[in-house]
Structure 1
Amino acid sequence: MQDFNLYFQLGIGHILSLDAMDHILFVTALCLRYLWADWKKVVILVTAFTIGHSITLALSALGYVNFDRSWIEFLIPLTIAATCVNNIFQKPKETTARQLPIIYFFALFFGLIHGLAFAGEFMSLEGKEGLVGHLLAFNVGIEVAQLVVVIAVLLVSYLLVQIVKVPRIWWLRAASIIILLFSLEWAYQRFPHNQKTNDETVVISGGRSAIAMQQ
């Protein structure tokens, strides 16, 4: 039970922290179009994302799949950007029936990518003993943290759209544009070539500093 609590808390901390802002903004972008009255749709949406990331988290943790983590970190902001672009170009009077399959696909498919990122964090802490139980606890922690984010997004949307009376499409597009800008910046920073260049710059700068100190 102690191990379960430990990995449960690690799962929560993996989402509800500044270091996990990319995952937070992805869930936010997914839920921006919904209000409290749409809670059933949100449940289906979050379930699709959960299925996606649970599959790759489990497969990666069990050693069945393995990907270069630098590319996964690069793909994460691209999933955010794609979701935001879909939000921005959503038509105000477009029927819900036509929208849902696309956003559900995003949630499921992009969940597969996010699961690989979760796995990287999990495997950095995990040994072989008790792997399945630890994996379950970690995943449950992630789900609880995601639920907190979803509730927060729905609450803000409710306040702005139904209390302050901000037009729903304005809120959706404005928030999506802001998140899109963050995601594009992260994608540029995380592109593997840029990461390598930055690492080399740090090494060179460090070497010069060392030489200067010796002089």
Structure 2
Amino acid sequence: MEEFWFYIQLGLHHVLDVNAYDHILFLSALALPFAFKSWKNVLLLSTVFTITHCLALVVSVYEIMHIDASWIEFLIPVTILCTAIYNLIDKKVQKGTKTIWFHALATGFFGLIHGFGFSNYFKMMIMGTNEKLGPLFGFAAGIEISQVVIVLLVLVLAYIVQIMFHVKQSLFVIVGSILIMLITIPLLYQTFPF
């Protein structure tokens, strides 16, 4: 049980690490266009992200597929930028008239990319142990817990800004998405694989 808790903590640290803020940026961009009353949709997206993130880890740990780390490191900020841009151009999500399925598919694909980004480090963590599924489940639990915390914080912030300060949701989404884009652009430059 101690080892399982270790991997839960590893998952928590992986997402909540301020120095590796790509997860926080991605989840913030993902949650921005949703109102607090849509928390179930955001929780669904967070769970899809966790599942595909861990699926990428399984594929990597069991050496089913190997992807060049330099490309993955570049694609991670691309996923953040794409999510922020999508927030700016898709007003239907903000009005609640669009289904969640496109978001879920894109989030799942992006979860695979983020999972491959962490796979080499995770493989080093479980090196020398025969047990791989226990650590993966613990890690997945830590990721999910931390992601729920982040999206809830974004939803609470959205509620405070929109209700208490009377800021329109569309303005909140636009400003938040632009800020995320401005933070992400240097990451693209730093990780460019050529």
Which TM bucket (shorter chain)? over 0.9
The structure with the larger Rg is 1
Unmatched segments (≥5 aa) in structure 1: 194-215
Task: Tell me the TM-score normalized by structure 2.
Answer: 0.92
2:144 maps to what in 1? 143
1:120 maps to what in 2? 120
Quote the sequence identity (%).
37
2:105 maps to what in 1? 105
What SS class does the counterpart of residue 165 from structure 1 fall into?
coil
- Aligned length in residues: 193
Q: Report if the CA contact (8 A) 1:92-1:169 is conserved.
A: no
The residue type paired with residue 166 of structure 2 is K
Shift of residue 143, structure 1, vs aligned partner: 1.0
Shift of residue 109, structure 1, vs aligned partner: 1.1
What SS class does the counterpart of residue 125 from structure 2 fall into?
coil
| CA distance in 2 between partners of 1:98 and 1:166 (Å) | 22
| CA distance in 2 between partners of 1:97 and 1:61 (Å) | 40
Task: Tell me the TM-score normalized by structure 1.
Answer: 0.84
| CA distance in 1 between partners of 2:183 and 2:167 (Å) | 23
CA offsets 1:116-144 (integer angstroms, 9 cap, x no match): 11322211212142221111111111111
Q: Report if the CA contact (8 A) 2:56-2:116 is conserved.
A: yes
| CA distance in 2 between partners of 1:116 and 1:92 (Å) | 31
| CA distance in 2 between partners of 1:92 and 1:109 (Å) | 21
1:5 maps to what in 2? 5
CA offsets 1:159-200 (integer angstroms, 9 cap, x no match): 00111111100010111011012212101110122xxxxxxx
Unmatched segments (≥5 aa) in structure 2: none
**Greater relative contact order (CA < 8 Å, ≥ 6 in sequence):** 2
**Which aligned pairs between 1:178-193 and structure 2 lie closer than 5 A?**
178-193=179-194
**Which aligned pairs between 1:191-210 and structure 2 lie closer than 5 A?**
191-193=192-194
The residue type paired with residue 43 of structure 1 is L
- Whether 1:133 and 2:134 are equivalent positions in the alignment is yes
